[in-house]
Amino acid sequence: MTSVLLTGAAGRIGPTIRDGLRGRCSLLRISHHSLDRLGAAAPGEELNRADLCSLADMEAAMEGIDVVVHMGGRGTEAEWEVIHEKNIVGTYNVFEAARRQKVRRVIYASSHHAVGFYRRSNTLDLNVAPRPDGPYGVSKVFGEALGRMYADKHGMSVVSLRIGAFRQKPEDIRHLSVWLSPRDCLQLIVKCIEAPDLHYAVIYGISNNTRSIWDNSGAALIGYKPEDDAEVYLEEVLQKGTPEGDIAAVFHGGHFCQMDFDGDSSRID
């Protein structure tokens, strides 16, 4: 069995992964800067206080670890100072600590906001150039590039997951295309951990949505076969009638594109 370090266990996605990995690992080490947010350790778990912004903390947290599932950092848009500290410095510390401790694989929580400024009329594959929709998206482009470098330069196995809209169920029209269910999210993480031979891969974190606007054929590399479809919730979503802004409705990144937008959308192909 594999020893796993999970960062970000107190975030939006972390609890689903933490619950689902229990019993699947020889050791599940849960890392957070505040242990009060993690609750009690379950059998097979080990709680570890570590600050992403401290390379020494992260290096200590990775001692004896085979796979890091990095879900930590800032999970939404914020001022650049916050993004820089959590998602630039913090992400570097994760990869560098993993290299120093000879961790076999890092699974990095990227985001579709790394390519958010493409129009929804375009189906995105895994080879599109970065097109971030804000500082948060920029930090995810950085993380993907960093992971690629550590794979090529240092031989680390790295998977970057461009996560869609992780929710219990889709909440608006855009989510019908980009939803990631908890069940599929857990399957995706498990497949990433268990994949036997992998150098570097980018995979969209998305369910089996009828309205998908992402080509996720690369997921076959790890055997990921999502089961859930946002279309099941179509009527519920339509009844909510949640409106989108004029910019948000056009681009893959939705309201992240709308925030602080003062450009000319006609010039964005």
The domain tally of the chain equals 1
Catalytic residue among 136, 204, 224, 233: 136
242: pLDDT strictly greater than 80: no
**Rounded CA separation 185/192 (Å):** 11
Q: What is the pLDDT of residues 151-199, one digit of tens each?
A: 999 999 999 999 999 999 999 999 999 999 999 999 999 999 999 989 9
Q: Note the pLDDT of residue 36.
A: 87
CATH code for the domain in which residue 170 is found: 3.40.50.720
Write down the H helix ranges in 76-181.
80-83, 90-100, 135-154, 175-178
Q: Note the pLDDT of residue 16.
A: 97
Closest by CA position to 77, among listed 269, 262, 255: 255
Tokens read off for 136: 């948060």
Residue 197's domain spans which residues? 2-267
214: pLDDT strictly greater than 80: yes
Indicate if 136 belongs to the active site.
Answer: yes
**Rounded CA separation 53/247 (Å):** 34
